[in-house]
A = this chain, B = another copy of it.
Amino acid sequence: MTEDADARRTAWMYLSRVVTGPCPALSALIDRIGVTEAARAVRECDLPESLRGPTELRRGIDCAERDLETIARLGGRVLTPDDVEWPSWRMLALGQLDAARDQSAVVPLVLWVRGPLSLPDSTEQALAVVGARCSTGYGEQVAAEIVGDLAGQGWTIVSGAAFGIDGTAHRAALAAGGTTVAVLGCGIDRPYPAQHERLLAEIAETGLVISEYPPGTTAHKHHFLARNRLIAALSDAVLVVEAGSRSGARNTVKWARRLGRPALAVPGPVTSAASVGCHRMIRDGEAMLVTRAEEVLDEAGPLRLSVPDRVVADDRTPDGDEGLVYAALPQIGSRVPDDLAELSGLPLSAVRAALPALEMAGLVGSDASGWFRLTRTGRSAR
């Protein structure tokens, strides 16, 4: 019952444009009936009441072909959860949040990407660095020093390409010859802010510029709040360098905490308005105080290492959902998640959560054909 890969890709792209940003009801529908069937249901308005409103405005817009052309012209690509380059492990915690509490707490349907790197590979060891748009010389100096140290040690710097600390973080990573990822709240064909057009072009040359919003989407305040969850999800920790009293950085820190990522903040003079938000987050126990790169590593480093240690050390056969999914994988050859869901009797979302965990445990792998079992010495025979 493997669906045609192109049809599935077109369905993901179509649905992503219909809702433009996170939509828990649609994600739930896709989990339940699969992406191509969900696309058909939306097109034909064969929908539960809860999905009619959110899809009404744009369900007639079906420009996947044109979007693919646009993105190809930019030298970019689109990633869907079916792709090997999809950052499954990074999205794991996001997929387990309760979307009833926050309408943004769902995995994006697609990611539009510019840049030469693999998204999962480049975010394997990643630190988000965010902060005040109205930064001070002090904040910029500290951000540049910490980023320079960590980028030089192979850490990817994830940020939002905004003025101030975001821009400083990207630039310092580039200057150190490191990798940096910009996550936008608009289409990746839109340089936002406009003054950062050149910076974004530089990032796309050696790093990645990504967005869940289709090409042409303009920046909106609520896009940035949803975007912040991806900055946190794609990173091992979130570092705030300067934040005013109403900074958006606090929202990124909130996502970090919900996703189990350490939230870190750099203090500054108590006489500086640009440090008020950092001090409040430290004081309220929302963020840990850090002053330099080594302290960032103290918080961001061990967590990343402890998880594989724990799983790999466990040499038993997987149990629970992971056991069911593993049993549904053939001894020879591979299967796609939809088939695994059907064979295991689990919802697709549970299959999607189990696969990266099995991968972490060194039991499965994936390529363009789907997921397959690994033997002790490598990939099982095909």
Contact = CB atoms under 8 A, between A and B. Distances in A.
Interface in A279-296: 279, 282-283, 288-292, 295
**Among A267, A283, A288, A290: residue with most chain B CB under 10 A:** A267
A11 interface: no
A270 interface: yes
A128 to B, nearest CB: 19
Interface string A68-90: 00000000000000000000000
Contacts of A270: 142, 266-268, 291-292
Contacts of A288: 283
Nearest to A268: B269
A271 interface: yes
The A contact surface, by secondary structure, is: mixed
A369 interface: no
A279 B141 CA distance: 18
Contact of A268 (B267, B276, B292): B267
**Among A142, A266, A271, A275: residue with most chain B CB under 10 A:** A271
Interface in A319-349: none
A290 B295 CA distance: 21
Nearest to A276: B291
Nearest to A146: B270
A292 B279 CA distance: 11
A290 B284 CA distance: 10
Contacts of A282: 267, 282, 289
A280 to B, nearest CB: 8
Given A269-B269, A270-B291, 18 more contacts: A138-B269, A138-B271, A141-B271, A142-B270, A267-B267, A267-B268, A267-B279, A267-B282, A267-B289, A268-B270, A276-B291, A279-B289, A279-B291, A282-B282, A282-B289, A283-B289, A283-B290, A283-B291
5 A-B pairs with least C-beta separation: A267-B267, A270-B291, A283-B289, A282-B289, A279-B291
